[in-house]
Structure 1
Amino acid sequence: MLRQYELVERVKAYNPEADEALLNRAYVYTVQKHGTQKRASGDPYFSHPVEVAGLMTELELDQDTIITALLHDTVEDTLATVEEVERLFGPDVARLVDGVTKLSKIEAMTESERAAENLRKFLLAMSEDLRVLLVKLADRLHNMRTLHFIKSEDKRRRIARETMEIYAPLAERVGMYEYMREMQLLAFEQLEPEAYATITGRLAQIRSSEGGQVDAIALSIKQALAEAGLKVEVSGREKHPYSIWKKMAERHVSFEQITDIMAFRVIVDSVEECYRTLGVLHQTWQMIPGRFKDYISTPKSNGYRSLHTALIFENSMRMEVQIRTRGMHETNEYGLAAHWSYKQGGVRPDGEVRWLRDLIEIVDASHDAEELLEHTRLAIYQDRIFAFTPKGALHQLPKGATPIDFAYAVHTDLGSMAVGAKINGRHVPLRTPLGNGDVVEIIKSKNSSPQLSWLSFVVTGKARAAIRRAVRAKEREEIAAIGRKLYEEIAGRLPTKVGKKALKEAVQRLGLEDEDDLMVAIGTAKIDDRSVMEALVPGSARTITDPEDWPKQERAISIRGLTPGMGFRLADCCHPVPGDRIVGLRRPGEGVEVHAIDCLKLADGIDADWLDLSWGERSTGAVGQVRCVLYNRPGTLAEMTGIFANARANIVRLEMTGRDSLFGTYEVDIEVTDLAHLTRIVSALRASEAVATADRL
């Protein structure tokens, strides 16, 4: 484990202006916060973030990234908070730490859902700042280096599988091939232990028996190039064990049938010398047709640039040769990290590539955890081909991609409007696989839409996500149209014509996002008629669906708390109705005046005896008073009185108390059975397009 002064010295070696005190504070902070926590290896837990920070210094990343690496687990695994990190180390570090922080395990979720949510947060965070990705990759690499200390085989395999399917491809997509190769090797050892042991064993045998053959071939290549006047560096190695196993699986061949196990790298000084070197090699040894790739004129999406060729050496031995400049080599091994050194000052490097934007679009389009994982793996874990638009714009796609994949790669709208395609000027079916160098022209129509059948042949995650989203949107529109027809039938059974205001309030009462959500819920029978009616006009469902319960205007009021034979009257100031809390006022020589408990008149200090009263069990029938503000247009008064009629409420008094060019105000006394009856009437009034406001007086 790196000691404190060693870490600081590493940073100061390439960035003399680094804040030594801040780096020391971050080191001490992570040691203190992780305290006595231990890793599966038995080492102190803080050794992990220190080693991750060490990996970041090897890439010569800026000071904030080093501090983020030191603190990346504090928020998740200790009592530290993002706010505390921001206060001590600044907003940039806090943002990066928050982005790298892994989600806590959510036991209610399935393994795939946890992985998807973790990936979703990770992708969104790294879209804001790619340093989040760099720290996360270093974090995963160090965890893989210590994976063998975990006792549970299932847990080791789960972590290895996640590394192989997500993190190694991500490392490859940003050009960090060193990280990718080591992650793949360590994951391969856990996932296929027998194959790993066999291949590494065979490679060791070849290494011991060849007697320096790799060095001899490298020397032959160097001598051939020196005779042509080229000064180069040549290195050779066996191919990566996982790469060999993958080729064996794809080609269904044995280890003995793999002929190009050796790979050589030639480093030159300029791009011109790359092509001169290629010419010399092809003149000296026979090239294998179909194996030449020019990633200098057409770089990979992660910025990788190199010439690849395969040659037949003596004794029919096949070998792969990569030719590149020193600058290309640095970029190829560490990708975006090579661009984002401390000199960048946090500026987003030019290497932030288009596939990352596509990943973010996939996050937005994916419907659930399984779709997100499927689409993301498609986007980051496939070999590439190159295809061109008619104007010469280059697009990289996975092998097996079709014109539909190409259209979505150009623009989502182009993919959605595609109806046909031409490849190299010839009309072809939309399911035709593209080849390297094809010129693709998409024929489009504004009236077309994505077809569900396209999912059977598209291969890119972006295309699959966009097609599924479009198909779901179309299905939703159809369901919403059915729901709207059902809604109109439901609204027609209400005691009033429902306006936009009532509909908006109903959506809120039902906990839905918008009107379309309501129509979809009705169309899919997720909400029944009664619930819709009750949301539109509270209290209406029982009244309308049970005609037997319609209020009858019989007056049978009894009051508890009065002496037998004592007279009473309901106060005109508050018009109490059965269901209101009531109180009685008794004056000498007069009967009892019954008020609602919240009557404003009671607050005036009335000189009378107060009686605690309540309604009798069968009290029905009283006069309620309502104030309505109607829009000043023909028919609104008729609609208001129609609401009273539908609710079986007899009008006792109707008086206009105000009018202007826009509104008319009315006070209405109506006979109701009880408070619930009055409340339903007020709700129906408020739901009407004719009524601006309605309140009980």
Structure 2
Amino acid sequence: MVLAYSYLNTVDYQDSSDFKKAKELLTHWMGVDASLTSQGYTLVELLSHLKVDIETQVAGFLLPAAEKGVIDYRVTTRKLGLVITRLLQGSEHFLALNHYLYNKKSPEQVEKFRKMLLAIVEDPRVVLIGLANHLCLLRQAKNDTESVHQQLGQETLDIFAPLANRLGIWQLKWELEDFALRYLNPKAYKDLAGKLKARRSDREQYVAQVIGQIEQTLAQANIQGKVSGRPKHLYSIWKKMQAKHLDFEQLFDIHAFRIIVQDTKSCYAALSLVHNLWTPITEEFDDYIARPKANGYRSLHTAVRDHLGKSVEIQIRSLEMHQESELGVASHWRYKEGSKSDSSFEQRIIWLRSFLEKKEEGEENLNHHVLDQLKTKVFDYRVYVFTPTGQVIDLPEGSTPLDFAYTIHTEVGHRCRGAKINGVIAPLTQKLISGQQIEILTARESTPSRDWLNPKLGYLYTTQARAKIQHWFKLQDQPIYIDQGRVLLEQTRHRNKLNEVDLKPLLKKFHHQSEDNLLAAIGYGDISINQLNTAIKEQITKVELIKSSPSRSSMPYKKSLDQYSIQATGISDISARRAGCCQPIVKDSIIGYITKNNGVAAHRTNCINIIKLSLERQKRLIDVSWVQRKK
């Protein structure tokens, strides 16, 4: 405990008065559990490396005590201010939801859960506190049981490591992933760590040699730069071995070298020097300066083969890019004291709530997708709530408990008679907020209310729920709608002076299986009067065509088709073939149509295909006539 206080007192804070007050509060509460202050100092140390503001560090310092329920928020607000209280409350909510809900869920549920965790965050600094706190838990769990390790490891890979990755906080991401490997696959972790340790002297000698060569080359070109080398972290090496089915001995690029120069121009100059020094591997080059990653990451990535044939990965970036890379979004989360609004910070919040839409690192068009999110703010128009069993439900912003009920299941919605929000009875018209737990109260024989469809009463927001209720009422009133449909059909038939209507083509046209369903759809208004009128007129046209077509078997002047040909009128060298649709016979009134690929086709003048020709296609009609063949 003395060492923890000594550490805190040696840090040069911009405003140490907040920490003095926080220490006074914890001194008062220390009697409950002295270990809480030690945990708080560990969190402060992690957060200070991320260069976050003093308020975030104070909130981290107090978080272990808050999670144990020994913090009085009235006291923290009075002594430290409302901002720190809200950071503490937000962090508690963030972590409590995770501990309560996460339990090896399906990939779809894990994705929704990630989104909900961010949707409840009003201040993005809460995410940093949550990440740092989880890393502390991993460090402290080294001696726990295998089941605890499995739970923590999977939770880390599913939730916390992806969050750190999207935020670009690499120093947390690497340690989180290595702990996950250590707990989920301890044998692979120990084996890999042992092999890396056994080759340490060779690796150190090789790293020093490569660094020396690069530094000498930069100096000769008068480029100021700092070169460093490090082994890749264990999880990334293991992941590469799994993906490419390689043994450890087959890996050469287990080191990553970094060149930090003054500006962007020097980045490209250094790249040219490296490519001249060794043989570049073209397919391994990525320009994240010209095309930054979605999280703002900028750097040049290249790989080369040295004179021994070993592949070497090298990153080249400016000092500014390096600071952004190491601290990620955290470097932008420094509030100006007394400022009410920071537009760039607000944009970061929007981005923070958008980046999880693409969850795979390196996914194509990720940057384009995030830019679209910045423009449309789609993510901000969703709420994420959960069932009593912990299932996350994704709904549009503005949804009510009744919308939630119909999303769970149509029958749950139909039988809904009330709802509880976070265990408290709430009206069905109350708007839902991300992070709430919703429980629907149902009755065995209950049915929907017509009031639910009244938009002025505010029971429903989603069109899906409204459609389900409307469909239910349609089924209950189907006999009435069938009668209404029959009347409308009869009126339309009478208006068109048709003796009877053939329902078979109407069933086919409107995709219904039975006459009752067709009539009910007409009665509902799903089939409009205009649609019905058009369909009946098509029947009239076909009847008239059949009546006007002479009976081919009884034509007194029927001639053998072999005695006649069809030619364009006035043009002796252009003949025509009979169209397959209407198959005109000798003495039928005919007209020619110039097809695209099969010459001229002769149709009867009353052929339905000719009658329906568009104005544009009518330009391709020509006169044709029957011509008796010469004997």
Normalised by the length of structure 1, the TM-score is: 0.52
Does the 8 Å contact 1:336/1:349 carry over to 2? no
Select which of 392, 395, 398 maps to 2:368. Answer: 395
Structure 1 stretch displaced more, 92-101 or 61-70: 61-70
2:21 to 13, 22, 25: 25
2:44 paired residue number = 53
Q: Please state how far the C-alpha of 1:325 moved relative to its aligned partner.
A: 1.5
SS of match in other structure, 2:364: strand
The partner residue of 1:382 within 333, 343, 361 is: 361
Partner of 2:451: 504
SS at match of 1:189: helix
Q: Is the 8 A contact 1:27 1:70 kept in 2?
A: no
**Does the Cα contact within 8 Å between 2:354 and 2:374 map onto a contact in 1?**
no
- Pair 1:124 & 2:116 matched: no
The 8 Å contact of residues 221 and 234 in structure 1, kept in 2 or not, is answered as yes
Partner Cα separation in structure 2 for residue 116 and residue 307 of structure 1: 30
Matched letter for residue 245 of structure 1: W
After superposition, the Cα gap between the structure-2 partners of 1:353 and 1:145, relative to the gap in structure 1 and judged at 3 Å, is farther
Match of 1:261 in 2: 254
Q: 1:217 aligns with which of 186, 204, 210?
A: 210
2:185 equivalent to 1:206: no
Report the Cα distance in structure 2 between the residues aligned to 1:169 and 1:505, rounded to whole angstroms: 41
Q: Which AA in structure 2 matches 1:124?
A: A
Q: How does 1:188-587 map to 2 (within 5 A)?
A: 188-210=181-203, 212-341=205-334, 350=344, 357=350, 360=353, 379-386=358-365, 395=368, 503-504=450-451, 520=468, 523=471
Structure 1 residue 503, shift from structure 2 partner: 4.3
Q: Tell me the distance in 2 between the aligned counterparts of 1:379 and 1:515.
A: 25
Measure the CA separation in 1 of the matches of 2:134 and 2:64: 12
| Partner of residue 66, structure 1 | 57
Distance 1:320 1:308, change over 3 A: same
Structure 2: give runs of 5+ residues left out of the alignment: 379-393, 415-448, 478-631
SS, match of residue 201 in structure 2: helix
Report the 3-state secondary structure (helix = DSSP H, G, I; strand = E; otherwise coil) of the residue aligned with 2:71. coil
Matched letter for residue 117 of structure 2: F
- Kept after mapping to 2: 8 A contact 1:266/1:322: yes
Deviation by residue 1:615-658 (Cα, 9 ceiling, x = unmatched): xxxxxxxxxxxxxxxxxxxxxxxxxxxxxxxxxxxxxxxxxxxx
CA deviation profile, 1:262-287 (whole Å, cap 9, x unmatched): 21111111111111000111112110
Name the one with the larger helix percent: 2
How far did residue 166 of structure 1 move? 1.5
- Give the structure 2 partner of residue 87 of structure 1: 78
In structure 2, C-alpha distance between the alignment counterparts of 1:229 and 1:108, rounded to whole Å: 57
**C-alpha RMSD of matched pairs (Å):** 4.3
Residue 181 of structure 2 contacts residue 189 of structure 2 at CA under 8 Å; is this kept in 1?
A: yes
Residues 185 and 242 in structure 1, CA contact (< 8 A), matched pair in contact too: yes
One-letter identity of the residue aligned with 1:70: F
1:34-65 Cα shifts (integer Å, max 9, x gaps): 64437xxxxx1321122112222233322211
Shift of 1:33: 3.4
Q: Which residue of 1 aligns with 2:5?
A: 4
Q: Which residue of 2 aligns with 1:651?
A: none
Q: Distance in 2 between matches of 1:116 and 1:353?
A: 23
Amino acid at match of 1:385: E
CA contact (8 A) 1:259 1:317 kept: yes
Map of 2:480 onto structure 1: none
1:329 alignment partner AA: H
Match for residue 163 of structure 1 among 156, 159, 178? 156
2: CA distance, partners of 1:140 / 1:268: 34
- Partner of 2:282, secondary structure, is coil
Give the 3-state SS of the residue equivalent to 1:217 in structure 2.
Answer: helix
Using the alignment, how far apart are the partners of 1:511 and 1:133 within structure 2? 34
Whole-Å separation in 1 of the counterparts to 2:296 and 2:172: 16
C-alpha contact (below 8 Å) 1:53/1:67 kept by paired residues: yes
C-alpha displacement at 1:258, in angstroms?
2.0
The 3-state SS of whatever aligns with 1:384 is: coil
Deviation at 1:6, TM superposition (A): 3.5
Q: Residues of 1 paired with 2:262 and 2:73: CA distance? A: 47
Q: Quick check: 2:350–2:377 contact (8 Å CA) kept in 1?
A: no
Q: Which amino acid aligns with 1:185?
A: D
| Counterparts in 2 of 1:277 and 1:89: CA distance versus 1, 3 Å | same
**Percent identical across equivalent pairs?**
30
What is the CA deviation profile of residues 228-249 of structure 1, one whole-angstrom value per residue up to 9, with x for unaligned ones? 2223211112222111111111
Question: Would the alpha carbon gap of residues 524 and 98 (structure 1) be closer, same or farther in structure 2, given more than 3 Å must change?
Answer: farther
| Partner amino acid, structure 2, of 1:215 | A
1:559-605 per-residue CA deviation (whole Å, 9 max, x = no partner) reads: xxxxxxxxxxxxxxxxxxxxxxxxxxxxxxxxxxxxxxxxxxxxxxx
CA distance in 2 between counterparts of 1:71 and 1:3 reads 14
> Which secondary structure does the structure 2 equivalent of 1:301 belong to?
coil
Give ranges in structure 1 of 5+ residues lacking alignment: 39-43, 363-375, 388-393, 398-405, 414-463, 484-501, 530-697
**Aligned mates of 2:303, 2:462 — CA distance in 1:** 63
Q: Does structure 2 conserve the Cα–Cα contact (< 8 Å) formed by 1:336 and 1:352? A: no
Secondary structure class of the residue paired with 1:3: helix
Residues 315 and 110 from structure 1, CA distance in 2 versus in 1: closer, same or farther, beyond 3 angstroms?
A: closer
What is the number of residues matched between the two proteins?
A: 411
SS of the equivalent of 2:358 reads: helix
> Residue in 2 aligned with 1:145?
139
In structure 2, how many angstroms separate the alpha carbons of the residues matched to 1:23 and 1:202? 44
Task: Look up the SS of the partner of 1:266 in the other structure.
Answer: strand
- Decide whether aligned partners of structure 1 residues 412 and 106 sit closer, same or farther in structure 2, where only a CA change above 3 A counts: closer
Per-residue CA deviations over 1:67-95 (Å, capped at 9, x if unaligned) read: 11122233331243444432332111111
Letter in 2 for 1:88: K
